[in-house]
Structure 1
Amino acid sequence: MRGQENEAETGLARVKFEPDDIEVFVPKGTTIAKAAFAAGCGVEMPCGGMGTCGKCRVHAEGELSEPDSSEKRLLSAEALAEGIRLACRAKIEGDAVVEVPAASRSIVQKILSDGVTRDVHVAPAVQKIYVELPKPTLIDERGEFERLAAGLMMYDIEAQIGVPMARELPKILRAADYRVTAVVSEDWVIAVEPGNTARHNYGVAFDIGSTTIAGYLIDVNTGHELAVTSAMNPQMAYGDDLVSRINFAMTEPRGLGMLRDSLLDALNRVIRQLVENQGVDQSSVYEVTIVGNTCMTHIFLGLDITTLGTSPYVPTICGQMTLRGEEAGLEVNPGARVHVLPNVAGFVGSDLVGVVLSVLREDDKRTRLAVDVGTNGEMALQHDGRLYACSAAAGPAFEGARIAYGMRGSVGAIDSVCITDHVEFTTVDDKPALGICGSGVIDAVAGMLDAGVLDESGRMLIPSEAGNLPSDIANRLVDGRDGPEFVIAWAGETARRENITLSQRDVRQLQLAKGSIRAAIETLFKVAGTNSSELEDILLAGAFGNYIRKESAVRIGLIPSIDMDKIVPVGNAAGAGAKLALISVRERERARRLASRIEHIELASHSDYENEFMDKMLFPSSADAAVTGR
């Protein structure tokens, strides 16, 4: 009873989340979404909590705010009467019980973790050197650091030391009887450890994406990858795309700090998982390399991102940044060196530099195209010894957002679709269908084009026009709320117990996304003075590039029509670039050179880009899309 009085006095409300059976206390007036994140029950909010997508549906009972205009627009009267609410809009006014259904949860998605491999000379910046030093005497009155420096000089190291390390040095040397291992990075002593620990030398490479984070634990003595793990980027709670997050940083008083704090939490969680997996001490991680789009690396560094949201979209810095582990806020050795690889421009980041580092060569005269398909699509074209790059704001449709039944590639997502006289599909982990992810959407649209359900403009047949289609296909054309819809999975085949469909609006969203990517590719061709017929290959980078069927990507016009054998998925090439920069100083220097060599093409400055975009929103005819191997 006393606890209830305290809750009333302090303005707190008790919220219980099902089926997790978790209770939290939050201030009255808190949205269900914020309470859910506090409870560790993440809710999908592709629109960043703006109340425009309707995907954060929960079942809630108790003392709640009245439905606002967004809820009344996106939810039917029947749904509201049954207690269905939008987590981003409904506020908790008193004790409540909330059920977060599977379709609305932020689920850890299936992420491809292996990248490309190639030969590289292992030459890490961090060395661990065991030395046995003479003890000080009345005759040998050298300072403790000078004593250590003399021992390291035998290894051609002109040692330097910072104040934090110098403060700890005397007690470490004396406790270890002057038998120690010095951890040295480019002549700087960053740690000193008792005994001989030279074998234990680790680093972590990160690829920070807008949606996912991939982390790799590397033995930098050998260059071997020991462990890999990945996590959702928790900034998704503040918006699916970069523009939403930049807007959040601009409008919220602590917006940038909140974005950075959530990112650091995720990075440190990944580090803990990596080291625990291998029984490694976190203090034995002495070097970290990071790649990501310009916005993500700026947030990590705590740099102003508001200039990225207004023309001419200039970053605070493009060059490589290096800071100490303690300064970075990472749970590694406090003196560890954290290297954020260089960006190219406001929306062409070090992730693309990582892609180029791992799959392209400076001396290559061939014509090659590397495409990282995603919310912020980035691409690099190599032609006649020059490198061109640009970014295209494709939006989150490829991640399943802005698609009515869209979701990321997590358990239960329809990830492949085959349409002939009937429809077949597969789901991630073979679980009952919860929704459809980007690769499934691309497959479905490609099949709908071939089946005659869609024409080249993207218009979907209405049910009364389906008479000439095979019966199973015709029956799947139904009247939806806003026009025709095509049923991918019937209610009985889904975990939702309702049909999973693609609507006319969904198709338009895909057209916008693929038109943006393809128009950017064509603009690069024009600037470089080449075309797709000269392409040696197309390298599809990133996890998404590994999951989409090449034939479907060509059929919808996402990428140029070339021989299928020349379209090569290259895994997480950005992460592979981060690993290369971790195990080799030469590769990190090469990344710096590449970033300065890449010629950034600002699409907004090319007047014909808009015309190209309008043209590439259309789907190619089946004849145009016909390629060897299809």
Structure 2
Amino acid sequence: MVKVIFKPENIEISCEYGDNLLEVARKANVFIDAPCNGNVSCGKCKVKLIKGKVDTKKSHHIKDEEWDEGYILACNSKVIEDVEIEVPSKLSSSMNKMKIEDLSTERDKQIFEKSKKLILDNNMKFKSYVRKDYIEIDIPNLDDNISDFDRIKRHLKNNLGYTKVFCRLQMLRKIPHILRKGSFKVTITHIPRGSDRTTIVNMEAGDTTDRLYGIALDIGTTSVAACLVDLYKGELLAKASSGNAQIKYGADVINRIIYATKKDGLEKLNHAIIHETINPLLKKMCKDSGIDKDEIIAFVCAGNTTMSHLLLGVYPDYLRLEPYIPTFLRAPFIKASELELNINPETFLYIVPSVASYVGGDITAGVLSSGIWSSEENVLFIDLGTNGEIVFGNKDYLMTCACSAGPAFEGGEISCGMRAASGAVEKVEINRDTFEPILKIIGSNQPEGICGSGIIDLISEMMISGIIDRRGKINKNINSNRIRFDEHGIGEYIVAFKEDYEIEKDITITEVDIDSFIRAKGAVYSGAATLITSLGMDFSIIDKVYIAGGIGNSLDIEKSILIGLLPDIDRSKFSYIGNSSLMGCYLTLMSEDARYKLEECASSMTYVELSVYPSYMDEFVSACFLPHTNIENFPTVKNILED
């Protein structure tokens, strides 16, 4: 056995000789960002060897001066003796610092109210599927000595018309104590199934019919957001959000699926989402609102198809293998106790149904809250997150697809990329004469990296200022200390000098980074174009474009069009609709009618598999240019470039 100490927290763990350093960190619960899940392709798991030796190789991700200082890639190193490892603070803390939208901004509050109004305007009722009733039961005596449960069933049959009443073992164990604590005057929480059948999920002494609570939860690949809801008033009593702890096993769904196939991999991923992510959020919200966890008796959550599988601990590998078959699209109602969720164990978890392997319940929930299903106009819905999902349609039809954008919009696959957290550059302007950048940084004066919206700004500014050409290649004729080339001729632009900001190293964007991002934006644009042309239409038919996902809040529409991420159409057609998945979960939680509409949306969406669609690859290749190989598709960009 050998010993590893992780600094600066001084976390110590023993491991076997030859164990992979990244896996050792994971076992020690030390978070090291590894978007590529340890295949040595991203270079993000860079740590510093302070003491001891490891079996490692120098990677192109590590510069000569870094190598001399002891920097190594955790995923590319084996522990061969006692070592001390320093984990850069920006790696270990980035998950908890993520900037996550959770219905808290003024703009999101307006979106929230608009979605609620949508339900009412379509003659749907805000009425939960969970019921609460105060009942006063006959006190037993020697002449009326039937069992406690039979006594409850008799009362419900005679007074509420339920001829079939059920409860589970954990509830049965509570009944004798609660009945006598309340002198047989109690409040039951139950879920009716038709007019004559119901299941009791909770019981409280006295009259508590004014307290009914539920959870809406959005499980994103990168982040998780939740809200605690008063089901009577529809009010959000508490909100909480955090990074998805599964990040340490890979930034995107493919890497997590691959990790799930390893020994104990599925169990670790399941533990990460439930015990390291969801339960802490639930605990925080209960504490903030003063509500006991047993009072939470309704739960709606949405995530992409992979996240739903990992939440339930269902083997996901067939999702990524042709013909891309999920184990389920619609999960049965799951009891909270089965997943060890920290709420009332009798609460049923409703998982929003998915559409296909790569179009999940988060998109179904987004379609519900966006109102595409009731629109007379043609709406293009784009969810820009770790995955790229697109929906196009109106009240008459809904078409959907998923594009393999990868984690670039979350800063993955970009050398200085990072998620939208404190220290991330989220907006950039470049002086056309001096090539000097002006940076807007999230919550700090010191940049640590560049998030998705910042990368879009940066690439568009570099193109307009002539630093890069339309292929994304850096202009070698520009005389600026912000432009340099390595020994292989690969160019980079220096966004922030380490001396200017007193940071560890320069923040740069390389031609390799730009190429990766161009492919990501090309995947989104070509996906939307293919979806619309499959109907014999083009972008001119679009009346509205809804942008959802974490990146949308800081997204510059004009610059997104400049690089060819979004179509060059009237800017007034674009709008950001916030965390549409969380909003859809809220509506489903509050309204049984909305849940029926949600399931109807899931069933009616037609999925287009881009990988086998004849013209998709040609469209994708054309979109891997700034803004596009056919500049006529972007007339306003053409005018700017010709000025």
TM-score under structure 1 length normalisation: 0.91
Say which SS state the counterpart of residue 593 (structure 2) adopts.
helix
* Alpha-carbon offset, residue 293 of structure 1: 0.4
Correspondence for 1:172: 178
Cα contact 2:367–2:373 (8 A) shared by 1: no
Aligned partner (choices 36, 53, 62) of residue 47 of structure 1: 36
Q: Which moved more, 1:255-264 or 1:153-162?
A: 153-162
Structure 1 range deviating more: 85-94 or 554-563: 85-94
Deviation at 1:62, TM superposition (A): 2.9
What is the CA distance between 1:366 and its match in structure 2? 1.0
After the TM superposition, which of the residue ranges 452-461 and 297-306 deviates more from structure 2? 452-461
Bigger mean CA deviation after superposition, 452-461 or 229-238: 452-461
Per the TM alignment, residue 362 of structure 1 is displaced from its structure 2 partner at its CA by: 2.5
Corresponding residue of 2:417: 406
CA change 1:394–1:136 in 2 (3 A) is same
Q: Distance in 2 between matches of 1:598 and 1:176?
A: 50
Taking a change above 3 Å as real, the CA distance of residues 233 and 445 of structure 1, as seen in their structure-2 partners, is same
Q: Displacement of 1:586 after TM fit?
A: 1.2
- Of 198-207 and 565-574, deviating more is 198-207
Q: Which amino acid aligns with 1:47?
A: C
Letter matched to residue 430 of structure 1: S
- Cα distance change, pair 513–62 in 1 and its aligned pair in 2 (3 A): same
Residues 328-357 of structure 1: per-residue CA shift (max 9 Å, x gap): 221110100100111101111000001000
1:96 partner letter:
V
1:261-319 deviation per Cα after TM superposition (whole angstroms, max 9, x unaligned): 11111111111111111121111111111100001101111222111021010111112
Find out whether 1:417 has 2:428 as its counterpart.
yes
CA deviation map 1:40-68 (0-9, x unaligned)? 44111111122222221112233332223
Give the CA deviation at 1:560.
0.8
Match of 1:4? none
8 Å Cα contact 1:288-1:338 kept in structure 2: yes
> Following the alignment from structure 2 to structure 1, what is the Cα–Cα distance between the partners of residues 359 and 492?
36
Match of 1:535 among 542, 545, 556: 542
Alpha carbons 1:103, 1:435 under 8 Å: kept: no
Residues 56, 78 of structure 2: 8 Å contact kept: no
Q: Kindly provide the amino acid, as one letter, of the partner of residue 478 in structure 2.
A: A
- Could you tell me the percent identity over the aligned residues? 30
| C-alpha deviation, 1:238, in angstroms | 1.4
Deviation of 1:176 after TM superposition, in Å, equals 2.5
Distance 1:201 1:31 in 2: 49
Q: 5+ unaligned residues in a row in structure 2: which ranges?
A: 120-124, 193-197
How far apart are residue 33 of structure 1 and its match?
3.0
Aligned-partner Cα distance in 2 for 1:493–1:586: 57
Q: CA deviation at 1:486?
A: 1.3
Q: Structure 1 residue 527: deviation in Å?
A: 1.8
Question: Aligned partner of 1:600: which letter?
Answer: Y
2:122 is matched with none
Task: Name the counterpart of 2:295.
Answer: 284
Which residue, out of 200, 221, 232, partners 2:211?
200
Secondary structure in 1 matching 2:454: helix
* 1:102-133 residue CA offsets vs partner (Å, 9 max, x unmatched): 34335121111115322243211112222111
Secondary structure of residue in 1 paired with 2:9: coil
1:223-256 deviation line (CA, Å, top 9, x unaligned):
1111111111121111111111111222x12221
In structure 1, the partner of 2:235 is 224
Name the residue aligned to 2:462: 448
Q: Which region of structure 1 is more displaced relative to structure 2, 304-313 or 164-173?
A: 164-173
Q: Equivalent residue for 2:344?
A: 333
Structure 1 residue 499: Cα displacement: 2.2
Please state if 1:437 is matched with 2:442.
Answer: no
Which of the residues 120, 128, 131 maps onto 1:124?
128
Aligned to 1:480: 486
Matches of 1:305 and 1:511 in 2, distance apart?
29
Q: How far is the alpha carbon of 1:93 from its aligned partner?
A: 4.0
* Preserved CA contact (<8 Å) 2:372 2:379: no
Q: How do residues 305-324 of structure 1 correspond to structure 2 at under 5 angstroms?
A: 305-324=316-335
- Give matches, 1:48-447, under 5 Å: 48-68=37-57, 71-76=58-63, 78-107=65-94, 108=96, 109-114=98-103, 115=108, 116-117=111-112, 118=115, 119=117, 120=119, 121-153=125-157, 154-158=159-163, 160-164=165-169, 165-186=171-192, 187-250=198-261, 252-265=262-275, 266-383=277-394, 385-421=396-432, 422-447=436-461
Bigger shift: residues 286-295 or 194-203: 194-203
- Cα deviation, residue 320, structure 1: 4.1
Matched to 1:450, the amino acid is I
CA contact (8 A) 1:125 1:185 kept: yes
What is the CA–CA distance in structure 2 between the aligned matches of 1:320 and 1:625, rounded to whole Å?
46
SS at 1:575 equivalent: helix
Aligned to 1:8: none
Q: Secondary structure at 1:506's aligned position in 2? A: helix
Query: In the TM superposition, what is the alpha-carbon distance from 1:446 to its structure 2 partner?
Result: 0.7
Shift of 1:12: 5.4
Return the alpha-carbon distance in structure 1 between the equivalents of residues 583 and 213 of structure 2: 16
Q: SS of the counterpart of 1:139?
A: coil
CA contact (8 A) 1:554 1:625 kept: no
**Residue deviations 1:52-94 (CA, integer Å, cap 9, x gap):** 22221112233332223xx455434543342222222334444
Counterpart-to-counterpart distance in 1, 2:131 and 2:333: 17
Cα gap change, 1:389 to 1:304, in 2 (>3 Å) = same
- Cα 1:106–1:157 change in 2 (3 A) is farther
Secondary structure, aligned partner of 2:485:
strand
Task: Give per-residue Cα distances to partners, 1:606-629, cap 9 Å, x unaligned.
Answer: 1100000001111135992628xx
User: What code does the residue aligned with 1:55 have?
Assistant: K
Q: Deviations over 1:189-229 (max 9, x none)?
A: 01112222222221111111111111111111211111111
Secondary structure at the aligned position of 1:528 is classed as coil
In structure 1, the residue corresponding to 2:271 is in which secondary structure?
helix
Query: How many aligned positions are there?
Result: 607
Which residue matches 2:593? Answer: 586
Distance change >3 Å, CA 76–CA 453, structure 1 → 2:
closer
Residue 383 (structure 1) shift = 4.3
Q: Contact (CA 8 Å) 1:433, 1:493: kept in 2 or not?
A: no
The farther-off stretch of 71-80 and 485-494 is 71-80
State the 1:542 CA deviation.
Answer: 1.3
Q: Distance in 2 between matches of 1:456 and 1:169?
A: 71
For 1:544, what is the secondary structure of its paired residue? helix
1:511 to 2:518 alignment: yes
Distance in 2 of aligned mates of 1:174 and 1:485: 74
State how far apart, in whole Å, the 2-side matches of 1:325 and 1:623 are.
Answer: 51
Matching residue of 2:195? none
Contact 2:386 2:410 in 1 (8 A): yes
Moved more, 189-198 or 474-483: 474-483
Aligned-partner residue type, residue 379 of structure 2: R
| TM-score, normalising length: structure 2 | 0.90
